[in-house]
A and B are shown apart, each in its own frame.
Chain A
């Protein structure tokens, strides 16, 4: 546990610095509000549309495929660490898992889900 103490110290200092900077700028900074400053800035035009537009669904597809292979790699870590102890059965178990996911990967590749358009 002791090796995580530097991270805790880092978090505490980051907290002090960020809260301090914000509160100092709120307390000490000069505030002048006028309509031109408060209005939306969009290169001289009035805003055409809402900023919350709809995104295309293909971004979601990329994200979900990323999650699946991320999880596959996460499963590989404990397997690699305990490789000598779990023996042949553990090895074949992981190979079967990888084959199942590779079937999905081949399907995805042939379907063209990885091609960006």
Chain B
């Protein structure tokens, strides 16, 4: 088991470095998909089957497609890509610092205790014969009610935001309304002989 963990985490590290360093953005996205698959395998090794399948369905099936669209929407020129590096470097450094700070806070302290101070150990539940999907379902909708509803509102926000930003209402849609077709009178229609 440990052997497989090391093999797949080695592949994850190599392919995620390739995401950053490959010059072609489309290759970057493909390496990202490869990273997602190998991360799913690592989840499987830790008995987190639901998370593994979710990673494949959501990240590979949807997020990677979104990234491909983003890559294709941008006007990519190899010479233009390298220009902004120094300009964006401090910002990226700041983001990395925030990310590592968050990781430190999660692993090293008890700042984030669960809302009602319940201690849930998924691995204990899994060892006790409960499957992974069920042990998530037992707590996500009741004990973590607030977090779950926040995620719902976040999805609503993402949906409305995407429509407001990307939807162009002015273009006439080539769409036949069934109601309009139903109320059409016979005499209003052009007859072809």
Interface of A is mostly: helix
CA distance A30 to B153 in the complex (A): 60
Nearest CB of A to B42, in Å: 13
Cβ-closest chain A residue relative to B1: A1
Interface of B is mostly: helix
CA distance A96 to B44 in the complex (A): 31
How many residues belonging to A are interface residues under a CB distance threshold of 8 Å?
50
A103 at the interface (CB under 8 A from B): yes
Residues on B with beta carbons closer than 8 Å to the beta carbon of A96: 149, 152
Nearest CB of A to B154, in Å: 10
Q: Which residues of B contact A (CB under 8 A)?
A: 1, 44-45, 47, 50, 54, 57-58, 61-63, 65-66, 69-70, 72-76, 131, 133-134, 136-138, 140-142, 145, 148-149, 151-153, 155-156, 158-160, 162-163, 166-169, 171-175
Using known A-B contacts A61-B163, A108-B163, determine if residue A54 contacts B73 with beta carbons closer than 8 Å.
Answer: yes
In the A-B complex, the 5 residue pairs with the smallest Cβ-Cβ separation, listed nearest first, are A82-B137, A78-B137, A115-B173, A90-B141, A104-B159
Instruction: Assess whether A60 is in contact with B50, with CB atoms less than 8 Å apart.
Output: no
Instruction: Assess whether A97 is in contact with B158, with CB atoms less than 8 Å apart.
Output: no
Contact of B66 among A54, A67, A105 (CB under 8 A): A67
Instruction: Assess whether A65 is in contact with B133, with CB atoms less than 8 Å apart.
Output: no
